Structure 1
Amino acid sequence: MTYFALSNVTDTGSFVDGLKYIYDKAPERFSMILSKGEIITPNGRDAWWDLPGLAVLIGGMWVANLYYWGFNQYIIQRTLAAKSLEEGQKGIVFAAFLKLIIPLIVVLPGIIAYVMNLDPETGQLNMALLSNEGFLGTAGNIANDNAAPWLIKNFIPVGLKGLILAALAAAIVSSLASMINSTSTIFTMDIYKSTINKKADDKQMVKVGRLTGLVALIVAMILAPQLGSLGQVFQFIQEYTGVVSPGILAVFLMGLFYKKQQIMLLYGSYFIRSNAMYFKVAPNGWSDASIFVNIPFMNQMLVTCIGTLLIIALISYFEGNEDDPKGIVLTKKLFATSSTFNLAAFGVMLITAMLYAIFW
């Protein structure tokens, strides 16, 4: 999709010329480290609130990535399906290489759509053109998520449209199956089996798991239409997932590296709730008092994670909790990696560093 779109940007039909044209028209859109006020989105929102400067490099972005790639059931169940630890490591580093091309697949199409809908005379977005092309949402906002469908409709050959649709359907079904399985497993094993019915047999657990998956699907179908008025659904999901994911990350990290943790989950959950109340509920209607600050969600994630880690460590220390006999014993063998993995991981880090250096 990106290739065909860029090939149609200029009269030469060249991918490279199209990329140069897009960069010349909107160089600020390629910036990875934003300053406040540097980029204003079509809906009038400062992009800094979504990508708050250095927080992308040394702040909350690490929390989001460590949680997703290290402690998310959705990813873990796929990694644990590997034949061995070494094979699992290879799969993860291969996924890291694939993630490096995500900007070409996810970010660049949006920039292309933005540039191609600019008014040549004013250099601003042509609102009449956007309306005709279906970029205006139900609430009158600019629906950024419509960029990809618009590019597919206008620039992809007919035969490839079907192939793209099939690939998207396969990806959606695969992701949906994994998410339902994760939801069912977490509820059945961590809530139903351990709290509601400790004597449940396998047959009962399978039944509860299926019912949980069905309920999750129904809830998703009810909520999905409500997201149609949002400009960026992915951004919305990340922002509100970020209320709880830092605390979950902190709990798992303390479980791995800190043995005095018998009550850590309780106190960690209290801090997560307090953070949600402070950063989300209060600034959005409950109170306009000056003590309630509104900061970018990535910074919220960093504050929540660090705060939860400190609370768990301090309370466990002052209560004098003994080491948990069931705690994980860490050895060098647990962190052993093959030379192939090390080389590939170094390559990923090098390419990532180069991208940040080029598009700072």
Structure 2
Amino acid sequence: MNFETIDIVIFVAYCALILGIGLYVSRDKKGHQKNAEDYFLASKSLPWWAIGASLIAANISAEQFIGMTGSGFAIGLAIASYEWMAALTLLIVGKFFLPVFIEKGLYTIPEFIEKRYSTNLKTILAVFWLALYVFVNLTSVLYLGAKALDTIVGTGNGDYMMISIIGLALFAAAYSLWGGLSAVAWTDVLQVVLLIIGGLITAYIALDQLVPGGGVIAGLKHMYEVVPQKFSMILEKGEVITPNGKDAWWDLPGLAVLVGGMWVANLYYWGFNQYIIQRTLAAKSLKESQKGIAFAGFLKLIIPLIVVIPGIAAYVLNADASGSLTTETVSSGFIGLDGTIANDNAYPWLIRNLVPSGVKGLVLAALAAAIVSSLASMLNSTATIFTMDIYKPYINKNANDKQTVNVGRTTAFVALVIASIIAPALGNLGQAFQFIQEYTGVVSPGILAVFLAGLFWKKATNNAAIIGVLASIPIALYFKVGPNGWLESAMFVNIPFMHQMFITCILSLVIIGAVSYMEAKGQDDPKGIDVSGGLFKTSAAFNISAFIILIILAFLYAFFW
């Protein structure tokens, strides 16, 4: 790819600006030693707009720009349910989860488990989350980000993979390890503006190329006429077949995106994921945090414009006159090493082939912003969980502020080194976004069941929670080893992974309920949470925002049904 001087200047300016902001906001104030609250919760000083922007910046990464654009290429607008249903999920988290978390003064999500259940269960889940962040989240973001940069800047054959991984890792570490959540959150405000602007520019250019006369509206109309099946939000079996021959219904099975397993994925991610929920815990107040959640909900509504629509446009640009795609009609930039069509090359292909010189630097900076902001958030949350849930309780109970902050920095650095070593080995993940959802879907249903029971059912006991979360793994694996899974056997059923998650979560809740009843004979658990007394009362601003978001969602699903 040919980068003009202006592209290089824009990209370098972006890097310098992010580092400057990160280091400036995280500087030690005169006469004040940075403590745990400063480092891990940004001194509990974040305003609503910073919280909302930071939530989106932490969420939007290579998974979306590369993975979800690839799914838009392969499946269509239906994949946007992950974004649009997330807007509704955020409202639920803001109204029903945050009041409990903030009232208890939490630093980490595992800390809630300790206060509601026991230290043993907290430690089990803390270790699990550390492993998930290091070996799945950090590793996949580094890999997908480096893959994108290698495709855009290099040839796509892996020549720049290791350099890209190291560069992204060092960039994220440069300000997040020193500054903590303060540096992460305040730089996220700029990063989210940049990634939205860059994403919209790419979408505009892609749509403008679809018809000879150009124009975004004309491009949208052309897409809808050529591939109308890719604008269906609720898929029927056999309605959309991906370029590699897979029925998209297996990834997004009809109404499950509205009333089934999508809720398991979204509630787990937005409600009980440390690197997401941590910035809401750093708010000035509960009302400020809830306003930030609502702001993030509005931003979620526009994300499909920058991560799904470009994928559909890339499909149409590579399809024949009938809207069909084969290895003969598709650009060589989409053909993987195994000879199949590489869906996740859609976004890099757009930047490489359509974005003009002079704009490439801005778009590349937007992509880097999405990757680096997520990396920084994950690093800070990994450090928070290890320091507050492992180091302080078990290794050094009397650790002072300086020791605590230094351990956090060391933890983040070690996690980044491990992820950087593992990332190149991930190989070709196909539709990476779907791969990550399915992998996480093995463990998320049981954890969600434990949290839901702990939040809203006073009778749930610690032993029931431990049995429920452990039982959820073999239940989930039962579905995974079915036909087309890891083993071929008539003993197993074959259903979409969203159905698997939903059934696993329901069965886990049943197990928790049954064990709790047998153990406590119907009595309330001593650690049960009292959710009465107006705990869930929300402000007029939040309620009005929620109503507007619900109206917009109803229109979108009615229009694209």
TM-score by length of 2: 0.60
Q: How does 1:228-239 map to 2 (within 5 A)?
A: 228-239=427-438
Give the whole-Å Cα distance in 1 for the aligned partners of 2:422 and 2:499: 27
In structure 1, C-alpha distance between the alignment counterparts of 2:449 and 2:216, rounded to whole Å: 44
**How much has 1:192 moved relative to structure 2?**
4.5
Aligned to 2:478: 278
Structure 1 residue 126: Cα displacement: 4.5
> What is the aligned partner in structure 1 of residue 513 from structure 2?
313
Out of 256, 275, 288, the residue aligned to residue 87 of structure 1 is: 288
In the alignment, the residues of structure 2 paired with residue 42 and residue 285 of structure 1 have an alpha-carbon distance, to the nearest angstrom, of: 21
- Note if 1:267 corresponds to 2:462: no
CA distance in 2, matches of 1:50, 1:223: 27
Residue 117 of structure 2: aligned partner: none
Q: Residue 112 of structure 1 is aligned with which of 297, 305, 313?
A: 313
Partner of 1:216: 415
Q: 1:344-355 maps to which residues of 2 (within 5 A)?
A: 344-355=545-556
Equivalent residue for 2:373?
Answer: 174
The aligned residue for residue 529 of structure 2 is 328
Contact preservation (8 Å) 1:250, 1:305:
yes
Structure 2 unaligned blocks of 5 or more = 1-201
Percent identical among aligned pairs is 65
User: Residues 59 and 286 from structure 1, CA distance in 2 versus in 1: closer, same or farther, beyond 3 angstroms?
Assistant: closer
How far apart in 2 are the matches of 1:293 and 1:214?
43
Q: Unaligned stretches of 5+ in structure 1?
A: none
The within-5 A match list for 1:51-200 is 51-120=252-321, 123-132=323-332, 134-194=333-393, 196-197=394-395, 199=397
Kindly report which structure 2 residues correspond to 1:196-207, keeping only aligned pairs within 5 A, or say none: 196-197=394-395, 199=397, 201-202=399-400, 205-206=404-405
Cα gap change, 1:349 to 1:125, in 2 (>3 Å): same
Cα 1:200–1:247 change in 2 (3 A) is farther
Indicate how the Cα distance of structure 1 residues 29 and 211 shifts in structure 2: closer, same or farther if over 3 A, else same.
Answer: same
Distance 1:268 1:198 in 2: 31
Q: Within 2, Cα distance between the matches of 1:103 and 1:217? A: 29
Check if 1:243 corresponds to 2:461: no
3-state secondary structure, aligned to 1:127:
coil
Q: Deviations over 1:127-146 (max 9, x none)?
A: 245352x1122332222121
Instruction: Report the CA distance between 1:336 and its aligned residue.
Output: 1.4
Whole-Å separation in 2 of the counterparts to 1:116 and 1:131: 9
Q: 1:4 to 1:185 in 2, by over 3 A?
A: same
Change (3 A) 1:136 1:277: same
Can you list the C-alpha shifts for 1:41-88, whole angstroms capped at 9, x where unaligned?
001111001100110111011111111221111121111122111111
Deviations 1:240-265 (A, max 9, x none): 11111111111111111122322133
Counterpart selection for 2:245 from 34, 44, 64: 44
Q: Distance in 1 between matches of 2:335 and 2:414?
A: 32
The one-letter amino acid paired with 1:329 is: D
Corresponding position of 1:253: 452
Q: Residue 229 of structure 1: SS of its match in structure 2? A: coil
Q: Which amino acid in the other structure matches residue 395 of structure 2?
A: N
Residue deviations 1:214-259 (CA, integer Å, cap 9, x gap)? 3432342244334441221111111111111111111111111122
Contact 1:143 1:230 in 2 (8 A): no
Residues 299 and 102 of structure 1: is their aligned pair in 2 closer, same or farther, counting only changes over 3 Å?
same
1:302 matched to 2:302? The reply is no
Q: Which deviates the most, 180-189 or 312-321?
A: 180-189
Contact 2:264 2:505 in 1 (8 A): yes
Please state how far the C-alpha of 1:113 moved relative to its aligned partner: 0.8
Distance 1:49 1:64 in 2: 16
Q: Give me the whole-angstrom Cα distance separating, in 1, the residues matched to 2:375 and 2:316.
A: 33
Amino acid at match of 1:20: K
Q: TM-score, normalising length from structure 1?
A: 0.92
Q: Residue 224 of structure 2 aligns to which amino acid in structure 1?
A: Y
Residues 200, 293 of structure 1: CA spacing in aligned structure 2 closer, same or farther, 3 A cutoff? Answer: farther
- Secondary structure at the residue paired with 1:328? coil
Aligned AA for 1:144?
A: N
The answer to whether the 8 Å contact 1:22/1:112 transfers is yes
Cα 1:162/1:51, change in 2 over 3 Å: same
1:284-295 aligned at under 5 Å gives the runs: 287-295=487-495
- Quote the residue 2:83 is aligned against: none
Q: Is the 8 A contact 1:227 1:233 kept in 2?
A: no
Corresponding residue for residue 226 of structure 2: 25
Taking CA–CA contacts closer than 8 Å with sequence separation of 6 or more, which of the two structures ends up with the larger relative contact order? 2
Residues 1:89 and 1:188: Cα distance change in structure 2 (over 3 Å): same
Counterpart CA distance in 1 for 2:227 and 2:425 is 32
Contact 1:141-1:229 within 8 A present in 2 as well: no
Give the number of aligned pairs: 357
Over 3 Å counting, the alpha-carbon distance change for 1:287 and 1:127 in structure 2 is: closer
Cα contact 1:6–1:15 (8 A) shared by 2: yes
In structure 2, relative to structure 1, the CA distance for the partners of 1:181 and 1:310 (3 Å cut) is: same
Query: Partner amino acid for 2:506?
Result: I
